[in-house]
Amino acid sequence: MRVFKTIAGLRSYLRVVGASAEIGLVPTMGALHAGHCSLIERAIAENEVAIATIFVNPLQFAPSEDLEQYPRTLEADCQLCEQLGVKAVFAPTPTEMVIRGGESDSTTTVLPPAAMMSVLCGPFRPGHFPGVATIVAKLLTIVRPARAYFGEKDAQQLAIIRRVAADLNLSVEICACPIVREKSGLAYSSRNQYLTSSEKQQATALYRSLQAAKREFCTGERQSHALISRAKTELAAVSEVRVEYVELVDPQTLLPLETIEEAGLLAIAAYLGSTRLIDNIILRDRQPIIAIDGPAGAGKSTVTRRVAEALELLYLDTGAMYRAIAWLVLHSGIAPDDEPAIAELASSAAIELQTTDPGLPTNVLVNGEDVTAAIRTPEVTSRVSVVAQLAAVRNALVAQQQRIGKRGGIVAEGRDIGTRVFPDAEVKIFLTASVRERARRRLRDLEAQGRTSIDLEQLEREIQERDRLDSHRKLSPLRQAVDAIEVITDGLSIEEVTAKILALYRQRAEK
């Protein structure tokens, strides 16, 4: 593992190892704990190169806050990063990142939307989010990662960074990672080390209050005032907890909510002694999403349809959506290698999936025209793989798939459904089988078509090569999500695999 203190050194390193590699970036302020480890582990799992930054950002601290006292454990942090598999750590000085030939206030500042800073921590920490946005924007510009990972504990920061990346047209995917908690329920934080043992026990009131509100939500309560009141009642039981705020806002826009229609972010900030703690929970009113990924030949399409039908959920036919774009390219007379024209076409196309019965084949509409039959022609089939490899097409369709899945109630399959399309899916399955098993299945299919001259070993070599290509694609490579359940289908029938996934779903639903 390399450790860099300068932008010049890091950029030189990136030119050497990152020229053709997908980079995952984990920005931190050091004092790494289990929460940071979860971000790093996911970055390693989903990218070819994982880079962590360690920088205590002075721009996000007010004069009255704990900048000088904030824990700095660079040597231990670097050792942990190396143990986890990080390729490089960027640990610049404030001079390298902030003060460039003048006072710190001469630094160009990224100013997020005022409305997003007027709620939650914003009024209590003036200047904090412009400081965060400025340094994160600088890090994203320096490293230019494919993905950057942030914890959901800092939910306001996450929403603001997403907005900044979108508004500045930064070509990075902002990945949210679940809160990691101690056994007591206390969310991991670098500031937890400030707490005494008794204060750590008292701090669990934050998590208990969120869970109390969640129970109210699960019984059907959707009114903000009632959910906030329930949380405050639980917090009041611990007199040592000094509440700064309890608010309910939209998780994306941060606008205050009166009623939860789709999802609400219930967030708390409170003090124990001189230590400020934050915590939150997403209250989501949607049907479940089941994401099924895996290599070619594992039986994903058939199993996904069966699961959708059994649960009466929509089968999100992502393959049909790529076929729809291929049809549109063909129909529009655009050359298959004219990537800019295809990018314009895909970014403005409206694709709808309609079905009368869950689990059954869907009707596909492109810009209002039913193309269900047209997308299955040989002419379209011959263009699908070429079109699907284009970043602009995948980005456009991922956005549309996410819109379709906003209210849940879907089962989808692919190679990046659980990692990119629906990272917050309630159930993630990685469906796989040995190369030999997949080759046997392919051989049976070919023999059923009358093709009897195919060699099993040849099929195995072809499948191994397909796996290699899929897992090393620059765009959306095949990866098993860190929280996905692996289901190995060797020796199992379609019915048995379906039953196994349904059982896993019911176990998750009970929890």
Catalytic site positions: 36
CB neighbours of 486 closer than 8 A, spacing ≥ 6? 430, 432, 480
**459-481 burial, b for 16+ CB within 10 Å, e for fewer?**
bbebbeebbeebeeeeebbbbbb
Indicate the residue type of 220.
G
Query: What separation in angstroms does the CA of 370 have from each of 33, 36, 260, 328, 352?
Result: 52, 47, 35, 12, 9
State how far Cα 73 lies from the chain centre: 28
Cβ contact 308:505 at 8 Å? no
Can you list the pairs that 348-352 forms with residues at least 24 positions away whose Cβ atoms lie under 8 Å?
A: 349/324, 349/325, 349/396, 350/400, 351/321, 351/324, 351/325, 351/397, 351/400
* Rounded distance between C-alpha atoms, residue 464 and residue 470, angstroms: 10
Biggest CA-to-CA distance, the chain: 78
Alpha carbon distance 212, 495 (integer Å): 40
Closest residue by Cα to residue 262 from 231, 222, 228: 222
**Angstrom distance (rounded) from CA 101 to CA 103:** 7
In DSSP terms, 430 is beta-bridged to 293, 486
The gap between the terminal CA atoms of the chain, to the nearest Å, is 40
How far apart are the C-alpha atoms of 303 and 359, rounded to whole Å? 10
Residues near 17 by beta carbon (within 8 Å), at least 6 away in sequence: 49, 87
199 and 240 Cβ atoms separated by less than 8 Å: yes
Residue 297 backbone class (left: φ over 0; alpha: ψ -120 to 50; beta: rest) = left
Within 8 A by CB and 6+ apart from 483, the residues are 178, 418, 428
